[in-house]
Structure 1
Amino acid sequence: MEVGRRISASPRPCSGRRILAKKKRARSDGIVNSVKKLQRREISSKRDRVFGLSNAQERFRNMHLKEEYDTHDPKGHSSPVLSFLMKRTRVIEIVAARDIVFALAHSGVCAAFSREKNERICFLNVSPDEVIRSLFYNKNNDSLITVSVYASDNFSSLKCRSTRIEYIRRGQPDAGFSLFESESLKWPGFVEFDDVNGKVLTYSAQDSIYKVFDLKNYTMLYSISDKHVQEIKISPGIMLLIFNRASSHVPLKILSIEDGTVLKAFNHLLHRNKKVDFIEQFNEKLLVKQENENLQILDVRNAELMEVSKTEFMTPSAFIFLYENQLFLTFRNRNVAVWNFRGELVTSFEDHLLWHPDCNTNNIYITSDQDLIISYCKADSDDHWMEANGNGGPKVDDCDSSAGSSSKRSNSSLGRSTVAEALEDITALFYDEERNEIYTGNRHGLVHVWSN
């Protein structure tokens, strides 16, 4: 899947892998029809696909609603500066690690729940003016990294903190320590966590310096200082530096992710007066698309160039690279497609309609083998939880569209949501592969556990 998750400063979390620092009760058939919305889609091109599909069906066939957790703190917060933290808001990110489920609400409140004890352990906001923007589980040292902004700083700078999972399990979220304190991560600065390569990339806009840190111990490895660098893209083992374009070309450099050594420097020719829709790097393949032009796939090793007609490949809103399968997913207008690097469409999920047109990687989960995608999607009335031709979709409804509606819930006699209620307006999703559990968050700030 995608290599890194980039975060930039903003008072509210934004969707996607990049988050920047900005300025300022039901009938039984009804229940079945709601449950079926959560489905999977096989995306593997391997020969044992049929076996894998059958295995996946068994894995998810008996999923049912197991638990419900609440991110809302009824006691509220003492600071009047952050009164919005007292409001019940939608869940925008879920991360699970070591039997602990972390859920981040749109307000900036983050709660940790124990799956073993089935209770809320603590809130991760250790300061009364802290608004948490995003979460990252660092498997290298079994810790959770929180990226936050603060009212005292006018929400203008990103601050990172690392807290060991063991401390959080003990209810000690303040036992962590700050990261990258020397970096000024103000707009348009950012921090990007690269789990594949085990690196962290930061950008300080104040002095136009990119720095690469080791994700294991957070030591700085090297820096890149060049005001002409427009963008950096990370791929397994390498980084692509994209410089400010000239009229007829764009200068590019490929660097080793380990030490910053320049492996190749070259210019890629462009059509004059045509804006660049995207430039993406996948191992030795460079993908370039300009407005109303064909997709170009360049092999940077031998300069071999192939093109895909602009009528066949239209500019997507987002990519996810599947490094294990040498494929990539594209998202466009509620549709998802799988391509290979010969420019061939591998799979077009014509029966697969995304719930929302904008792709948000907090709303989908791709397994570590990169063969299953789990999501919340629109589904046909004759589908069920694990239909063999699954209508899974990598998107969850964005609750901004329903922000004006009532936040009251129709609860069961035990004060818990019914299955149908739990599956309404899902806004975040995570799959725990070790426990074989799906966690979903909704617009009421509730987290639901689905297990068999």
Structure 2
Amino acid sequence: MEGRRKSASPRPCSGRRVFAKKRPRPDAYVNTFNKLLRREISSNPHPAYSVSNGHEKFRNMRLVMEYDTHDPKGHSPEALHFLMRRTKVMEIVAARDIVFALAHSGVCAAFSRETNKRICFLNVSPDEVIRSLFYNKNNDSLITVSVYGSDNFSSLKCRSTKIEYIRRAKPDAGFPLFESETLKWPGFVEFDDVNGKVLTYSAQDSIYKVFDLKNYNMLYSISDRRVNEIKISPGIMLLIFERDSGHVPLKILSIEDGKVLKTFKHLLHRNKKVDFIEQFNEKLLVKQEHENLQILDVRNAEIMEVSRTAFMTPSAFIFLYENQLFLTFKDRNVAVWNFRGELVTSFDDHLLWHPDCNTNNIYITSDQDLIISYCKAESEDQWMEGNAGSIHISNILTGKCLAKINASNGTPKVDCPSSSSKVDRSSSSSISHMTSTVAQALEDITALFYDEDRNEIYTGNKNGLVHVWSN
């Protein structure tokens, strides 16, 4: 599992770590899976119950509400010009009956599911561009990561705001985090929900620091200019050093205190680039260009190889710690593997809409039994109808599709506002009337989130609209 990283330019990008400037990286896919990779793990229910319960929970999902993130009148006249534009929804987070929607422009709006009105915008200054959101369940707060025009969008700034303050429309009641850190390129901040930690990297002095996510106290620092990358797993961190010609030095550290648990080297083929190095508990996955996948057990140094024709380099991973499995994403397809290099599951009727494995359009439940994805529609007729896709809910262990939300079965409930009604612009907070049909709501979905407490799916599209699907 990876942490949250994004670049700190006026435009957000997909990724888990928040970087201090948008710049392409050859291994960028390693950290692409935003929102999915840091959720707390709980025990899985019996598979048969999971399938039955999943079908019942999702089979009557309907379009029930629409919110709009765009309101140029709701911003200060001094706001940056691109904050006033209507742009696509990039990220959705829900907490305590509040839905947060981050637009590509850097505007973030909070909506109440109780009143179905917009509560406020989270941008507290006219030149603030919000790049990422993180809900800290340890203290019931929302962390925003932003860049500012006054700083030429060059440094990341973090702020923590209690959910209760946001509920009262007081987003400026938060406080800054990590003020001692200079987070300029290639610096970053990474939030690790599984271990309850925050990792920062200050490129200015080449120091990594680990903070406690509960109280933001610094725990320890790592100062070594040879460190090329850090990967985080439950309980441990993997330090990947600059490679030598025939090997790559590695260290495993305790995430709690930074103590070195193991130091070793992994042999590499000379003059061949490393596609990826991933850590999963005691397993290390190493893949070089045009070579077999190597699965190393760091406890006894045993290596298992998987043919490069059977396992081709994916564009992204999701590790399922509870099930000792991992997902791979490649060419719009999803597959499940075990750590013997065996294909466990192929998904039925599950062709992802986005070819770039857009993580914002995928949600893995905390029990790691279901995957909710934005997919291509199953019929050619529906595919042609308004270019609408469909939302698929599939069982990860069996690959079976349990339910779908598409243009034919997602009809709005009769007690919802008419889809032909116009948005009421007389009040900046009253933006809950639906202007979209179901087919339109399923077009060009750019963000997806599932609220497991309310059993609701939230989707955002290229027009800056957020739609609520519920049964």
What TM-score do the two structures reach when normalised by structure 2? 0.85
Contact 1:251 1:266 in 2 (8 A): yes
Measure, in 2, the Cα distance between the counterparts of 1:58 and 1:301. 43
Measure, in 2, the Cα distance between the counterparts of 1:74 and 1:175. 23
- The residue aligned with 1:447 is 466
Relative to 1, partners in 2 of residues 1:103 and 1:201: Cα closer, same or farther, differing over 3 Å? same
Contact 1:94 1:429 in 2 (8 A): yes
Mapping of residues 214-253 of structure 1, within 5 Å: 214-253=212-251
Which of residues 357, 363, 369 in structure 2 aligns to 1:359? 357
Measure, in 1, the Cα distance between the counterparts of 2:394 and 2:248. 47
- The residue aligned with 1:300 is 298
Which of residues 424, 445, 455 in structure 2 aligns to 1:426? 445
Measure, in 1, the Cα distance between the counterparts of 2:253 and 2:233. 10
- The residue aligned with 2:183 is 185
Matched, 1:59 2:67: no
1:413 counterpart letter in structure 2: S
Matched, 1:390 2:401: yes
Mapping of residues 235-314 of structure 1, within 5 Å: 235-314=233-312
Relative to 1, partners in 2 of residues 1:23 and 1:331: Cα closer, same or farther, differing over 3 Å? closer
Matched, 1:200 2:198: yes
Q: For each residue in 1:79-129, what CA deviation from the matched residue of structure 2 results, as whole angstroms up to 9, or x when unmatched? A: 556101000000000000000000000000000001111100000000100
SS of structure 2 residue aligned to 1:365: strand
Measure, in 2, the Cα distance between the counterparts of 1:215 and 1:321. 22
Mapping of residues 56-95 of structure 1, within 5 Å: 56-75=54-73, 77-79=75-77, 82-95=80-93
Contact 2:69 2:103 in 1 (8 A): yes
- CA positional deviation for 1:49: 2.5
Q: For each residue in 1:412-431, what CA deviation from the matched residue of structure 2 results, as whole angstroms up to 9, or x when unmatched? A: 13442111111111110000
Measure, in 2, the Cα distance between the counterparts of 1:300 and 1:65. 49
1:425 counterpart letter in structure 2: D
2:357 counterpart letter in structure 1: C
- The residue aligned with 1:324 is 322
1:156 counterpart letter in structure 2: S
- CA positional deviation for 1:356: 1.1
Q: Which runs of 4+ in 1 moved over 4 A?
A: 382-388
- The residue aligned with 1:109 is 107
Measure, in 2, the Cα distance between the counterparts of 1:384 and 1:233. 31
Contact 1:253 1:262 in 2 (8 A): yes
Identical pairs, percent: 82
Measure, in 2, the Cα distance between the counterparts of 1:52 and 1:117. 32
Which of residues 123, 127, 130 in structure 2 aligns to 1:129? 127
Measure, in 1, the Cα distance between the counterparts of 2:123 and 2:391. 39
Contact 1:252 1:265 in 2 (8 A): yes
Which of residues 206, 209, 216 in structure 1 aligns to 2:207? 209
Measure, in 2, the Cα distance between the counterparts of 1:239 and 1:190. 16
Contact 1:280 1:287 in 2 (8 A): yes
Measure, in 2, the Cα distance between the counterparts of 1:386 and 1:195. 24
Measure, in 2, the Cα distance between the counterparts of 1:198 and 1:182. 20
Relative to 1, partners in 2 of residues 1:392 and 1:427: Cα closer, same or farther, differing over 3 Å? farther
- The residue aligned with 1:413 is 421
Contact 1:3 1:236 in 2 (8 A): no
Contact 1:320 1:330 in 2 (8 A): yes
Structure 1 stretches of 5 or more lacking a match? 25-44, 394-409
Contact 2:370 2:393 in 1 (8 A): no
What TM-score do the two structures reach when normalised by structure 1? 0.88
- The residue aligned with 1:15 is 14
- CA positional deviation for 1:350: 5.7
Mapping of residues 135-154 of structure 1, within 5 Å: 135-154=133-152
Q: For each residue in 1:319-377, what CA deviation from the matched residue of structure 2 results, as whole angstroms up to 9, or x when unmatched? A: 11111111111111111111111111111226321111112222211101000011110
Measure, in 2, the Cα distance between the counterparts of 1:324 and 1:273. 37
Contact 1:16 1:359 in 2 (8 A): no
2:464 counterpart letter in structure 1: G
Q: For each residue in 1:166-210, what CA deviation from the matched residue of structure 2 results, as whole angstroms up to 9, or x when unmatched? A: 000000000000000000100111000000000000000111000
Measure, in 1, the Cα distance between the counterparts of 2:295 and 2:45. 26
- CA positional deviation for 1:451: 0.6
SS of structure 2 residue aligned to 1:191: strand
Measure, in 2, the Cα distance between the counterparts of 1:46 and 1:210. 35
Contact 2:373 2:391 in 1 (8 A): no
Relative to 1, partners in 2 of residues 1:343 and 1:103: Cα closer, same or farther, differing over 3 Å? same
- The residue aligned with 1:402 is none
Measure, in 2, the Cα distance between the counterparts of 1:241 and 1:137. 27
- CA positional deviation for 1:391: 8.3
- CA positional deviation for 1:252: 0.1
1:412 counterpart letter in structure 2: S
Measure, in 2, the Cα distance between the counterparts of 1:209 and 1:386. 42
Contact 2:8 2:153 in 1 (8 A): yes
Relative to 1, partners in 2 of residues 1:12 and 1:86: Cα closer, same or farther, differing over 3 Å? same
SS of structure 1 residue aligned to 2:83: helix
Contact 1:4 1:196 in 2 (8 A): no
Contact 2:284 2:297 in 1 (8 A): yes
- CA positional deviation for 1:379: 2.9
Contact 2:10 2:105 in 1 (8 A): no
Q: For each residue in 1:130-161, what CA deviation from the matched residue of structure 2 results, as whole angstroms up to 9, or x when unmatched? A: 00000000000000000000000000000000
SS of structure 2 residue aligned to 1:7: coil
